[in-house]
């Protein structure tokens, strides 16, 4: 019988939520690694029982954990993330040169074909890879050594590489996004990278149309159309139909186009979800109403999804890695909030129910669809 496993990273531990394919009754396991910030957990597409997790605190640094039994038990793996060569500098907030310093792993992207291979996006922005199940990590330094690397500057949340998308058609084509540098693409497995930010416009940077420097919050794609990308930028919701070569705005009738998450329906590549957040200084939903917006037209025309979501006095945020979809026939959509709720919809967003209401602030949500 089919089922789903929801992997939730929070500011004070990890939780594993499971249900059968009906997605009505849930079992909550955790906290795992209590007291630690769990930025991201993600399972291998080819071996769902293999799950990787990023565990850190500002006090005691970075650990990496691996489970081989679907999140029941965990074991630490390698946690050395050493930049390749002499790391050099990037720009600090005040524009002065600042040495590249590893802070934490933000995002893990297991290979589509090999359970021992995982990409890791880290702060200060760089891409690492393991090919031995997490025992050792090596930087794919071609990204950081692009012409613009020394000019990258952190956003308010730090200079993080937070999104990694591997093309299902071509594993050598990878998209990544950095706050606040923008989107980059490699077509040779990570050796060389090109900025892919044409069409983005950002207030708050000296040249609003610059090749790099945009605060991209999240990008997403549908596996059947790997050249079509959707983006939630600091402000603006965007799409590209040419693998990032150019972008057009699709914010349309959204109440605000600021936000963090964006995701695509598992079976409808033109159905997209965002959670509008009031503004860059007001990180909660407009009017205290938590609304997911869905476009079934690939953007521009958006409808609010409110059934089951709080429509008064709701002042939570939904962070960039905290939305995911399952692949069951009726697509499930999930997101977590800084108030500790994890909401699930088993009907593509038409209605929502909380799986849990009182976790620590949710940093990430991933979903595994189990056979």
User: Dihedral angle at the C-alpha atoms of 273, 277, 283, 289, nearest 10 degrees?
Assistant: -100
Contact segment (CB under 8 A) with other proteins among 72-80, 154-162, 184-192, 321-329 equals 72-80
Q: For other proteins, which is the closer residue by CB, 135 or 242?
A: 135
How far CA 173 is from CA of 105, 110, 143, 170, 219, in Å, comes to 22, 15, 13, 6, 15
Counting other chains too, the contacts that 92-96 makes at CB distance below 8 Å and 24 or more residues apart are 92/153, 92/154, 93/153, 93/154, 95/153
Tell the residue number behind the tokens 């963090």, with chain if given. 260
Tell me if 127 sits within 8 A of 177, measured CB to CB.
Answer: no
Q: For other proteins, which is the closer residue by CB, 82 or 279?
A: 82
Tell the residue number behind the tokens 């084509």, with chain if given. 173
Q: For other proteins, which is the closer residue by CB, 31 or 226?
A: 31
* Distance from C-alpha of 347 to C-alpha of 137, rounded to nearest angstrom: 39
Binding mask 266-285 for other proteins (x = CB under 8 A): --------------------
Q: Does 57 bind other proteins (CB under 8 A)?
A: yes
186: tokens are 């490699």
User: Dihedral angle at the C-alpha atoms of 56, 57, 62, 65, nearest 10 degrees?
Assistant: -30
Q: Does 88 bind other proteins (CB under 8 A)?
A: no
Q: For other proteins, which is the closer residue by CB, 101 or 303?
A: 101
Q: Does 204 bind other proteins (CB under 8 A)?
A: no
Contact segment (CB under 8 A) with other proteins among 79-87, 128-136, 206-214, 303-311 equals 79-87
Give the shortest CB-26-to-other proteins separation in angstroms. 25
* Distance from C-alpha of 203 to C-alpha of 196, rounded to nearest angstrom: 18
Q: For other proteins, which is the closer residue by CB, 36 or 258?
A: 36
Q: For other proteins, which is the closer residue by CB, 62 or 146?
A: 62
The residue from 62, 130, 167, 197 that contacts other proteins (CB under 8 A) is 62
Q: For other proteins, which is the closer residue by CB, 58 or 95?
A: 58
User: 31 to 50, contacts with other proteins by CB under 8 A?
Assistant: 33-36
Give the shortest CB-76-to-other proteins separation in angstroms. 5
Contact segment (CB under 8 A) with other proteins among 30-38, 43-51, 168-176, 199-207 equals 30-38
Give the CA diameter of the chain.
Answer: 57
Q: How many CB atoms lie within 10 A of CB 207?
A: 9
* Distance from C-alpha of 52 to C-alpha of 346, rounded to nearest angstrom: 26
Q: What residue ranges bind other proteins (CB under 8 A)?
A: 33-36, 57-63, 76, 79-80, 82
């Amino acid at each position: 019988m089919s089922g789903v496993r929801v992997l939730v990273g929070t500011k004070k531990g990890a939780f594993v939520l499971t249900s059968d394919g009906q997605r009505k009754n849930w079992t909550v396991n955790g906290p795992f690694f209590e007291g630690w910030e769990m930025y991201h957990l993600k399972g291998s597409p080819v071996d769902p029982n293999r799950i990787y997790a990023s565990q850190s605190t500002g006090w005691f640094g970075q650990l990496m954990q691996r489970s081989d039994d679907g999140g029941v038990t965990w074991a630490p793996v390698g946690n050395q993330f050493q930049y390749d060569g002499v790391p050099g500098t990037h720009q600090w907030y005040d524009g002065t040169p600042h040495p590249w310093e590893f802070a934490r792993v933000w995002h893990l992207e297991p290979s589509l074909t090999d359970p021992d291979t995982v990409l890791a996006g880290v702060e200060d922005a760089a891409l690492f890879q393991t090919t031995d199940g997490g025992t050792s990590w090596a930087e794919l330094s071609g990204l950081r050594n692009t012409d613009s690397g020394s000019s990258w500057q952190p956003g308010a949340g730090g200079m993080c590489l937070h999104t990694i998308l591997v093309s299902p058609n071509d594993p050598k084509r990878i998209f990544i996004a950095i706050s606040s540098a923008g989107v980059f693409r490699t077509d040779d497995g990570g050796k060389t990278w090109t900025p892919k930010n044409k069409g983005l416009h950002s207030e708050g940077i000296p040249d609003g149309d610059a090749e790099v420097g945009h605060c991209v919050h999240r990008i997403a794609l549908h596996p059947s159309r790997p050249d079509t990308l959707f983006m939630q930028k600091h402000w603006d919701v965007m799409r590209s139909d040419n693998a990032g070569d150019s972008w057009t705005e699709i914010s349309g009738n959204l109440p605000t186009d600021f936000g963090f998450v964006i995701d695509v329906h598992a079976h409808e590549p033109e159905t997209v979800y965002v959670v509008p957040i009031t503004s860059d200084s007001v990180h909660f939903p407009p009017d205290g109403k938590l609304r997911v917006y869905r476009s079934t037209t690939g953007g521009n025309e958006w409808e609010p999804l409110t059934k089951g979501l709080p429509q008064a006095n709701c002042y939570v945020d939904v962070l960039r890695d905290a939305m995911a979809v399952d692949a069951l026939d009726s697509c499930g959509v999930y997101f977590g909030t800084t108030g500790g709720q994890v909401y699930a919809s088993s009907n593509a967003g038409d209605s929502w129910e909380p799986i849990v209401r009182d976790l620590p602030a949710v940093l990430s949500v991933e979903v595994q669809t189990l056979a």
